[in-house]
Chain A
Amino acid sequence: MSKLGLLWANLFRRRTRTLLTLLSLLVAMLLFILLRTISLVFTDGSGFSPASVDRLVVAAKYSIIDSLPISALQQIQAVEGVDAVTHAEWFGGVYQDGADFFPKFPVDPKAYFDLHPEFHIDPEQLQAFINTRSGAVAPKDMAEKYGWRIGDKIPIQGDIWGKRDGSRNWEFDLVGLYTGVDEDRSPGVLLLHYDYFDEAREYDSGTTGWFIVRLADGERAAEVANRIDQLFANSSDPTRTSTEAEQQRQFMQQIGDIELMMSGILGAVFFTILLLTGNTMAQSLRERVPELAVLKAVGFGDAAVAALVLGEAVLLCLLGGVLGAALALLVALVIGPGMEQAIGVFEVRATTVAAALGLSAALGLAVGAFPAFRARRLSIIEALRAV
């Protein structure tokens, strides 16, 4: 037996109690790692396409579901400070059994890629997209995921949009693949040919969801946005124009709220754990007063006995942390693919695991400090008299 063996043996003095404490620690660490992983994705923006400051988005003023007349494109184009305009629309639609959703935008192929230089596509494939009315281009990783090859037909069940012939079965020819700025940031959208979509849909022809504007001068975004909104202020389709960066800022603000909420949840969890584990430790100490006195009697110093008590708390918490981290990694494996659909990336980082273990150790020190202090001060003769 070693001193560590002594620590270990003490941990299992009350198996059920230790097990319950371990379980609560495990759940707390699991929560910590998963929530932290999610909030990291948002805060460092690894899940999103980069915003461009020199682009504006023009949408219907009151609801993003409302559409705008395609004819507005000419008017926006004529606004001073606007360099180029294109448009996109939300298609909705279900692929296969609808288990995973991905967005699909009907766009003007040439103008859309022209306004998004961060998307890369082979020029020949772009030309094919322009020429093929039933064409579609997919992000490379999406094509890999569903096993699509150029030339395949992609069937989509329309939910928002039916066809003029009464059917809801859309079919698109995959004519090209495109990528985002870098490998890990998939554009995530299947692009469809607007002309075909507009002609085939059963209602709302001649409209689009929103316009994307490239500014001649990124510095004057506010001014140009104002001008556009004023242009349509008294029309039947008033608009709201904001920069992509602004949109993301608004989104980030919501994320900030999410972060606050997560911190709140974690704070509550850790406070509970602190009380729970602290209580376990205090109880365990009370039961052991005579034993600790005997340890001191046979020659263990005050510091050694204190270290024993503190070590037990740290060992217990670390054990909970390690088990929680292991479970978190396992859970991440299972829910990872689903989470990636929802938020782009979902990867438990080594630093997050390290933070969880650090937190466990700190928790151990926090709950062990007071019992250790009491153990240190414990008087041998008083304790033995109490038997």
Chain B
Amino acid sequence: MALVRCQDLQKSFVKGRETVEVLDGINLEIQQGDFLALMGPSGSGKTTLLNLIGGLDHPSAGAVEVGGVPLNEMSARQLAKWRAENIGFVFQFYNLLPVLSAQRNVELPLLLTPLSSRQRKANAATALKIVGLEDRAKHKPGELSGGQQQRVAIARAIVADPTLLVCDEPTGDLDRETADEILSLLEVLNQEHGKTIIMVTHDPKAAERAAQVLRMDKGRLAQEAA
């Protein structure tokens, strides 16, 4: 069974008197364990689609199901709880809390779980180890390089052990070499830890690392083989 299933997904934004159609009937299935890259021109609706799959927003019409759960039927409160347990987010600009150390940033999502303080610490340490930053646990984001900050963000995304990682241009702000390291890390998470990954990217080299590439244009999908 597919992990993610989108059926005739539509999304429009109302801006003043204008209504902008951003997604225009998306049909998509992503299998458990996939590593999928989403490409397309700026403004084609990639982020919007990712937000719907990640349960950050509601579709205007159509259905989106993740792990058999119909997201379009859930309330904002239910979605928040569901995201905490099922989705890991990685953003282009890392979006770490500058006042917290790397360790505490990673621990953040675990504050929503019933885990003990000691267990939370242990899990955060494990996640930092997976991304190769165990020696930077005490550093604040300001004391880390861009690549390191993105690793911390990835550690935060996986700490609650979600099935699906949603990454919006995770290497968009990094140089080639650092980008390759991040992509290798995502590969490891996909192949060794069994995470299903959807990654939006503008970088063809990044897309090559994925098992499958989807192209978007003007709110529609055009599938092509990897």
Contact present for B98 and A297 (CB under 8 Å):
no
Interface residues of A in 255-305 (CB under 8 A from B): 290-291, 293-302
- B107 with A291: CB separation less than 8 A: no
Question: Is A1 touching B107 in the complex (CB atoms < 8 A)?
Answer: yes
A380 with B99: in contact, given A3-B111, A298-B108 (CB under 8 Å)?
A: no
User: Is A298 a contact partner of B104 (Cβ separation < 8 A)?
Assistant: no
Q: What separation, in Å, do the CA atoms of A12 and B100 have in the docked complex?
A: 10
| Complex: chain B residue closest to A305, CB-CB | B80
- Cα–Cα distance between A5 and B54 once the two chains are bound (Å): 28
Is the CB–CB distance between A298 and B84 below 8 Å?
A: yes
Instruction: With both chains docked as a complex, state the minimum distance between the C-beta of A297 and any C-beta of chain B, in angstroms.
Output: 5
Using an 8 Å CB-CB cutoff, how does the interface string of B179-200 with A read, 1 for contact, 0 for none? 0000000000000000000000
Max chain B CB contacts within 10 Å: which of A301, A302, A387?
A301
Partner of B156, one of A1, A13, A298, A387: A298
Given A297-B89, A298-B156, A387-B93 in contact, is the A13-B83 Cβ separation under 8 Å?
no
Asked if B217 lies at the interface with its beta carbon under 8 angstroms from chain A, I say no
- Beta-carbon contact of A291 and B84 below 8 Å: no
Interface size on B, residues (CB 8 A): 30
Chain A CB within 10 A, most for which of B77, B98, B104, B111: B111
A248 within 8 A of B: no
Closest chain B residue to A291 by CB distance? B97
**CB neighbours of B97 from chain A (8 A):** 9, 291, 294
In the complex, whether A71 has a CB less than 8 A from a CB of chain B is no
Q: Which of A2, A290, A296, A298 is the one whose CB lies under 8 Å from B117?
A: A2
* Contact flag A294-B112 (CB < 8 Å), given A2-B117, A381-B57: no
Q: Does A10 sit within 8 A of B, measured CB to CB?
A: yes
B27 interface residue, CB < 8 Å from A? no
B95 and A1 contacting across the interface, CB-CB below 8 Å: no
A387 and B91 CA atoms in complex are apart in Å by 10
Given contacts A1-B111, A9-B104, A380-B56, whether A299 and B81 have CB atoms under 8 Å apart is yes
Q: How far is the CB of A285 from chain B (nearest CB, A)?
A: 14
Within 8 Å of chain B (Cβ to Cβ): is A252? Answer: no
* Binary contact track A358-387/B, C-beta < 8 Å → 1, others 0: 000000000000000000000011001101
Tell whether B76 is near chain A: CB-to-CB under 8 Å.
yes
Question: How far is the CB of B14 from the nearest CB of chain A, in Å?
Answer: 13
The answer to whether B111 and A387 touch across the interface, beta carbons within 8 angstroms, is: no
Give complex CA distance A381, B91 in Å: 12
Indicate whether B109 reaches chain A with its CB closer than 8 angstroms: yes
Asked if B212 is at the interface of the complex by the 8 Å CB criterion, the answer is no
By a CB distance below 8 angstroms, the chain A residues around B89 are 294, 297-298
From B51, B56, B80, B120, contact of A301 by CB (8 A): B80
Interface residue? A6 (CB, 8 A): yes
How many Å from the CB of A228 to the closest CB on chain B?
76
Do the beta carbons of B100 and A9 come within 8 Å of each other? yes
Contacts of A380 in B (CB 8 A): 51, 56-57
What's the minimum C-beta distance from A366 to chain B, rounded to whole angstroms? 24
Q: A9-B99, A9-B100, A13-B99 are in contact. Are A295 and B93 (CB under 8 A)?
A: no
Task: List A1-22 residues whose CB lies under 8 Å from chain B.
Answer: 1-3, 5-6, 9-10, 12-13
A299 vs B104: C-alpha distance when bound (angstroms): 16
Q: Which chain A residues lie closer than 8 Å to B107 at the CB level? A: 1
Residues of B within 8 Å of A295, CB to CB, are 108
Chain B residues with CB below 8 A from A6, complex form: 100, 108, 111
| A290: min CB distance to chain B, Å | 6
Q: Which residue of chain A lies nearest to B100 when distances are taken between CB atoms in the complex?
A: A9
Query: Mask for B117-146, Cβ within 8 A of A = 1, else 0?
Result: 100100000000000000000000000000
Closest CB in chain A relative to B20 CB, distance in Å: 13
Closest beta carbon of chain A to B40's beta carbon, Å: 17
Distance in Å: Cβ of A31 to nearest Cβ of chain B:
31
> In the complex, which residues of chain B have a beta carbon less than 8 angstroms from the beta carbon of A12?
99
- Residues of chain B within 8 A of A291, CB atoms compared: 95, 97-98
A253-B84 Cα distance, complex, nearest whole Å? 64
Known pairs A1-B107, A1-B111, A10-B99; A302 contacts B76 (CB<8 A): yes
Shortest CB-to-CB span from A95 to chain B, Å, is: 60
Chain B residues closer than 8 Å to A301, beta-carbon distance: 77, 80-81
8 more A-B contacts (CB under 8 A) besides A294-B95, A299-B84, A380-B56? A2-B111, A6-B108, A9-B99, A294-B91, A295-B108, A297-B56, A298-B83, A299-B80
Top 8 A-B pairs, shortest CB-CB distance: A299-B84, A9-B99, A298-B109, A294-B95, A1-B104, A301-B80, A299-B83, A13-B99
- 20 cross-chain CB contacts under 8 A: A1-B100, A5-B104, A6-B111, A9-B97, A290-B93, A293-B95, A294-B97, A297-B56, A298-B108, A298-B109, A298-B156, A299-B85, A300-B112, A380-B51, A380-B56, A384-B91, A384-B95, A385-B47, A387-B91, A387-B93
